[in-house]
Amino acid sequence: MTTVQSDSAVRQPGFERLIEWSLEVSPDALPPQVIERSALLVADNLVALLAAAGDPGVARAQSALRHSGPSMGTPAQAAADMAVALAWMELDEGYAKASCHGGLYSLPVLAALASDRQVSVRTVLGQLCLTYEVVARLALAYPARRFTWHPHAMWSSIGAAMARCRAERVEPALALRSLRIASTFAMAGGYEAAIDGAEVRNIWAAQGITQGFLAVDLARSGLDGPSSAPEGIYSRITGRDRCDDAIFTSGLGVDWAIFDSFTKPYACCQSSHSAISAVVMMRAQKAFSLDELESVDVTTPRVEMDCREPQNRLAAQFSLPHAVAAALVLGRADADAFALDAIADPLIARLRRAIRLVPWSAPLQTANARPAHVRLRFRGGQILEQTLLDAAVTDLAAQREAVIGKLTHYADKNFPRASLACRKLVEGAPHILDMEWEKFAADWK
């Protein structure tokens, strides 16, 4: 029988330095442009939270977690509640360079802990940026092979543990023990759950956050994870050799990961966004009749997202045929485009079954790029086609426009106070940045 040996000699000085740095830097002393980007990320995630308000699936999942999860009224329970809602509508931010949603794994923790302390909004934004740096660099160091492990399963526990360590200003040695423990809590959650519409996927971030809180408590009690963690854990999960330790320190404090966060204009997996944008652009350029449409070919590196008969919102959010069909019929891909009514729409269903997915054969611009080429063929031989190499919204001005647009669409009518608070946050209003987080949160809770 083959046994796995613990490599007690494995050390990661770069990773250790990253953790020390993230705990040493004052969150109130970060450059203004870093705080500005962090504010956009927070506002973007709060839109996702508001968009999920009142969804019965969210309420059921939160109720189940309250029954068997952390004690009611604790920061861990509040953070888990928030994470369920943030993940549900697929409107939370992402990281363009690797599969990772650092805001989802850390903001609920930081928000819950800030509510128990007299902490300013500016401080929470700084804590978020520093935590995001750790999670993003981990995702860069240990990229999962395409469409294998889902990032929520891999990174939520260690991201949450880091967020708690940063908020509570623990010593580096305790933080490293916490992260070693948290890395062992990574879940065996794959993309097939999302494609199948298995809604347990929407709980992974919340469960990871619960485990992240636990990891810090265990480290404080004197427990530790394996000495080779996190290297030994994540290299085994991803099936890769040891990472380049320099990833953790290269450009530290200069090349901020948060500048490569992206905003999702569409309420679905980001792998569908290039195809959706291509359809929206073609609709804007030339009027056409769907009755005359003969074929739809979508060339994509994500041919696995091929569900033709989604049974719920999650399956539709991870179905490229549904996303493209909804965009063709509705001209949009907001949360309603992935609801049960849209799934059951006869025309969307017919188009969904007819769309052909073609493997993308050209080299990708980056390892995490999600390009698409959409080709519409009509009776009489007319052809419309559009290619987008990547639809990730990372540009500052475009991000700001997208977040404001999402606030208008999802928050202005039903949550006017929350929408106004988020707009002021995006604008960087000094009185908002200096406000206690709990007072800011009162407008959107």
Calculate what percentage of the chain has a pLDDT beyond 70. Answer: 98
What rounded mean pLDDT belongs to the chain?
94
pLDDT one-digit tens code per residue, 383-405: 999 999 988 888 899 999 999 99
Is residue 2 very low, low, confident or very high in pLDDT (cuts 50, 70, 90)?
Answer: very low
Flag whether pLDDT at 318 surpasses 50. Answer: yes
pLDDT one-digit tens code per residue, 231-272: 999 999 998 878 899 999 999 999 999 999 999 999 999 999
Flag whether pLDDT at 202 surpasses 80. Answer: yes
Element (H, E) at 370: none
Instruction: Work out the number of other CB atoms within 10 angstroms of the CB of residue 420.
Output: 15
Residue 131, both tokens: 């935590």
- Residue 254 CB partners (closer than 8 Å, separation 6+): none
Mean pLDDT (whole number) for 410-436: 93
For 270-388, which CATH superfamily applies?
2-methylcitrate dehydratase PrpD (3.30.1330.120)
3-state secondary structure string, 273-335? HHHHHHHHHHHHHCCCCHHHEEEEEEEECCCCCCCCCCCCHHHHHCCHHHHHHHHHHHCCCCH
Beta strands in 3-125 (DSSP E): 94-95
pTM of the model: 0.95
119 touches 57 (CB < 8 A): no
Is residue 358 very low, low, confident or very high in pLDDT (cuts 50, 70, 90)?
Answer: very high
278 vs 18: CA distance, rounded Å: 39
Mean pLDDT (whole number) for 136-151: 92
357 touches 320 (CB < 8 A): yes
What pLDDT, on the 0 to 100 scale, is given for residue 70? 80
Is residue 4 very low, low, confident or very high in pLDDT (cuts 50, 70, 90)?
Answer: very low
Domain ranges of the chain: 13-262, 270-388
13-262 belongs to CATH 3.30.2310.20? no
Lowest mean pLDDT among 57-61, 146-150, 303-307: 146-150
Is residue 10 very low, low, confident or very high in pLDDT (cuts 50, 70, 90)?
Answer: low
Number of H-type helices and E-type strands within the chain: 20, 6
pLDDT one-digit tens code per residue, 152-199: 999 999 999 999 999 999 999 999 999 999 999 999 999 999 999 999
85 touches 47 (CB < 8 A): no
